[in-house]
Structures are given as C-alpha cells and as structure tokens.
Amino acid sequence: MNVYDAERMADILEGEGYTATETIEEADLVVLNTCHIREKAAEKVYSELGRIREMKRDRTALGLETRIVVAGCVAQAEGAELLRRAPAVDLVVGPQNYQNLPDLLRQSQKKRLVETEFPAEDKFVSLPAPTAKTIRARGVSAFVTVQEGCDKFCTFCVVPYTRGSEFSRSVDEIITEIERLAASGVREITLLGQNVNAFHGLDEAGSTVSLATLLDRVARVPGIIRLRYTTSHPLDMDDVLARAHRDNAAVMPYLHLPVQSGSDRILDAMNRRHSVADFRAAVASVKRYRPDTAFSSDFIIGFPGETDEDFAATMQLVEEIGFSSAYTFKYSPRPGTPAADMADQVPESVKDSRLQTIQALVTKQQRAFQESMVGRTLDVLVERVGRKPGQIAGKSPHLLAVAFEGSADLIGQVVSVEITESVTNSLIGQLSDRPRAVA
Ligand code: SAH
Ligand code: SF4
C-alpha cells in the first residue's frame, strides 16, 4: 500500500511541476514514505533522516533549497516528535492527509507543520489521476487501494491507529481508476486493503457490494486479464469469495492469507478472533473451488507467552498446509498496543532461534514449490525486459518470477513458457508457441 500511496503522491507533485529523480542529491523535495508496522522499519526513518540532513547541508552550501517531508504511518504515529527529533524535517503528513500536499507544502514554507488529522472526506476523491505516460512507465501490473484501515485491533498491531478505521471506496471510483489504467496498458490489477476481503463498498445503485462482486466488475474492464487481492483476513474469507476463485477466470490461483500462529492459545491472545481450524477451513474452501491455488501467509514468531509447544504447533501448521511462500517476523512490541505491555515477553535469543527454524522450513517449501514447475508450461504475463540481453521477464499465475528469451514487444501479453530450470527466486524457460491473444 505504501507503493500505491507513493505513486499517488508522485501524481500530485507532478501536477505541481515536480519530476521524479533517481538521485537523491538532486532532489529539491524529498518525501520519505514510512512504515510503522515493526520497530526496525520505524527506526530506519530516523537514521535515513540523519543522512538526508547532511545532504541538505551540502546543498544549502551550494545555494540550493531542499525541503523534507515525512509521510506514511511513522508520520502518523510520531507527529510532532518527528519535528523535535529531526530538525531538518519541514512537514509531517499522515496517510489520510497526503491529498493536501500542495497546500501543506505552501504552508510549511512559513512554519514547520504536522498534519495527521483523520479527515471526514474520502481522500481518494481529490487525488489527481496519473497521466498515460506515467501509467506506462509504471508497468503492466498495478496496485489499486480499494479498502483502507482496520477495526479488528489485533493486540500486536498498529494499523488501526495509524491508518484509522475501516473504509471501502465506492465501486464507481475504483472502476474509473482501473479503466484509466487499462486504457494505458495495465493488464493485471492487485486490489489492496489492510483487510481487503472485508471490502464493502457502495455501487452505483447505493447497494453495498462484497469483494467477490467487485472482482467481477473489475474483470469486465476491457484489457484487464489478471486479478489478485491482498491482504485478506481468515475471518472474512467467505464462500462467495472462495467461489470467485473458480468462477472468475481473471482471479489468479494464489492467495496471501496471514494466520500469524498455529496455536489457538496465541491466536486468542492476539485477538485474531479466528482459530487454527477457521484458517484450515478457509484454505480448504478456496482449494475446493480452485485446487491449484498456492497459498502464502504471515507468521509472528515470539508473541508474548509463546511456548515451545505453541511454536511447534505453528511449525506443524506450516508442514501441513505447505506454502508457496511465507513471511516470518519476530514479534516487535509496538508502543500503544496491548501486547507490548503483556508480562511474558519472549527473550530475543528465543525469538531468533525460532525464527531461524521456521525460515528454514519456509525456504524449503518455497524452493520445492518453485522446482515443481520445471517441465511444465505456464502462462506468463510479460512485465519487463529481463536482466540478461535478449531476455524478457514476467510472472506465472502463482506469482513466480519467470525469465526467458523473447522480444520486448511481448510486454503486456500473456504467453506460454516451458519451464526448464529453477534458480534462486526465479524460473527460467523458453517461449513455447505463438503469443496468446490478449483479451
Ligand atoms: N491485515 C493483515 C496484516 C497487516 S500487517 C492481517 O490481518 O493479517 C502485515 C503483517 O505484519 C502482519 O500479517 C503481521 O504478520 C506483521 N506484523 C504486524 N504487526 C507486527 C508486530 N508488532 N510484530 C511483528 N510483526 C507484525
Ligand atoms: Fe493489524 Fe490485520 Fe489485525 Fe487489522 S486485522 S489489526 S491490520 S493484523
């Protein structure tokens, strides 16, 4: 979602006459879009700001002005503290306020400023659309936020505080945005939300529609051939949505479904409001409709009170499900969240060793899944030229990276590729026949 937000901020700033630069030393304006989900990400902001401050000093010596903005969830959580700890920062702007960047930039010229109020109006309505040129430069696969915020309050998580309460965009607004992307060459859409499967936006008739209905509407946009959505919550994985994995041909056989732990005791302490059995049932229902679905998940290791038995249950769940990939995080206590004050925090050394254990298993499963593709012919959406000359690259339906020889003219098309080899983090193959027709 930060990638999406950053793109939207770039769109606004383009309207103000700014152009993006690859070289930070050249920048008249630096916007740090930040993440607060774990301590490491949040602390990185301050070290980065130290570096940027020196750069600002060098530029000032040359008579150049540099303005520094901190956006995103660290901005939301830290607010005025950022101005205090980082004297070079001009403006602090929260994730629900960046639509006002032009105005805020003007105001902050006179006085350093913090804007982190949760406004009543829908920020998306006032965001300018990207130009056709910008859309083409960003590639054939695009993110679109459809749902934001969260009301679930898992005891470890800052999202409800930094992104605010749950909100779904209207179907009309989303379709208009996607039609524009498709008209400039986008072929794959990933619908984004902190709880994307809790989507309940209004349609043109004023009725509330579910994510499954939204997926149907998006699939009808001319040019859109692939759909994905992330991140889902096991509780909101209902039968209608599972059925979309069979009935909506554009929905890819891949689902990211975070479970966090394989122990009911820990899930309860996390206030996840689902059991391990609920997660198994959600996986099974999607598999029933679409047997070749690959699953990925998120795991928090060393949540307060996690015992060896709880961790063993997590390992067992990973063994049982078999993930095509998984993200494993050491529990990071976040200020203001209930879990941070829980008594039985797990020592760092225990978290480290458990993390290593689960990562070894996840890596093994990931590799095995990738290797199972060798010898098969896969549909690949070609996204870009490859790293080696003459190569192009794209993604398989299961979101695996595939590289093969071919012409850059194929970018934006789905082609058949015979997979010959599995290397670290990607598959190698060769074009099998004529390019397939694009919808
Ligand atoms: N809404 C999604 C997840 C959003 S946060 C869900 O409910 O599953 C993305 C991931 O960051 C989470 O799935 C979790 O695994 C991880 N995460 C969140 N807070 C964390 C914390 N305090 N420590 C470690 N990992 C955390
Ligand atoms: Fe955070 Fe997801 Fe829980 Fe919401 S449902 S509080 S975003 S982990």
pLDDT at 42: 86
* Mean pLDDT for the chain overall: 96
Mean pLDDT value of segment 48-66:
95
Residue 366 CB neighbour total at 10 angstroms: 17
* 218-240 pLDDT tens trace: 999 999 999 999 999 999 999 99
Q: Is the C-beta atom of 256 inside 6 A of ligand 1?
A: no
Query: Domain 2-115's class?
Result: alpha beta
The tally of CA atoms less than 13 A away on the side-chain side of residue 89 is: 27
Query: Cα(357) to centroid of ligand 2, in Å?
Result: 25
pLDDT at 433: 73
Architecture of domain 123-371: Alpha-Beta Horseshoe (3.80)
Query: Cα(175) to centroid of ligand 1, in Å?
Result: 29
Using the CB atoms, write b or e for 60-88: b if 16+ within 10 Å: eeeeeebbbbbbbbbbbbbbeebbeebeb
pLDDT at 67: 96
Query: Cα(165) to centroid of ligand 2, in Å?
Result: 11
Query: Would you say 392 and 382 are in contact if contact means Cβ atoms under 8 Å apart?
Result: yes
* 240-292 pLDDT tens trace: 999 999 999 999 999 999 999 999 999 999 999 999 999 999 999 999 999 99
* 16-51 pLDDT tens trace: 999 999 999 999 999 999 999 999 988 899 999 999
Nearest to 381 by CA among 357, 406, 361: 406
Nearest to 280 by CA among 245, 321, 237: 321
* 84-141 pLDDT tens trace: 999 999 999 999 999 999 999 999 999 999 999 998 888 999 999 999 999 999 999 9
Distance of CA 235 to the CA centre of its chain: 19
The tally of CA atoms less than 13 A away on the side-chain side of residue 318 is: 28
Query: In degrees, to the nearest 5, what angle opens at C-alpha 28 toward C-alphas 110 and 184?
Result: 115
Using CA atoms, how far residue 423 sits from 83, 361, 430, in Å, is: 46, 18, 14
Single-letter amino acid code for the residue at 202: L
Residue 215 CA to residue 438 CA, distance in Å, equals 19
pLDDT over threshold 90, residue 366: yes
pLDDT at 122: 86
How large a percentage of the chain has pLDDT more than 90? Answer: 97
Q: Tell me, yes or no, if the two domains 123-371 and 377-431 fold the same way.
A: no
Residues with CB under 6 A from ligand 2: 150, 152-154, 157, 159-160, 194-195, 233
Domain boundaries, the chain: 2-115, 123-371, 377-431
| Angle, helix 239-247 to helix 211-219, in steps of 10 degrees | 20
Query: Cα(329) to centroid of ligand 1, in Å?
Result: 8
Residue 288 CA to residue 9 CA, distance in Å, equals 41
Q: Is the C-beta atom of 41 inside 6 A of ligand 1?
A: no
Atom 1 in ligand 2: residue holding the nearest Cα: 157
Mutate to test the pocket of ligand 1, among 73, 300, 331 (most ligand atoms within 8 A of CB): 300
Using CA atoms, how far residue 384 sits from 10, 307, 317, 409, 437, in Å, is: 22, 46, 36, 10, 18
pLDDT over threshold 60, residue 427: yes
Using CA atoms, how far residue 153 sits from 160, 210, 270, in Å, is: 6, 22, 9
Nearest-atom number in ligand 2 for the CA of 160 is 6
Residue 291 has φ and ψ, to the nearest 5°, of -60, -25
Query: Cα(144) to centroid of ligand 2, in Å?
Result: 19
Residue 104 CB neighbour total at 10 angstroms: 20
* 297-349 pLDDT tens trace: 999 999 999 999 999 999 999 999 999 999 999 999 999 999 999 999 999 99
Confidence of residue 384 (pLDDT cuts 50, 70, 90): very high
β-pair type (91-93, 113-115): parallel
Q: Is the C-beta atom of 76 inside 6 A of ligand 1?
A: no
pLDDT at 439: 44
Architecture of domain 377-431: Beta Barrel (2.40)
| Angle, helix 276-289 to helix 308-321, in steps of 10 degrees | 10
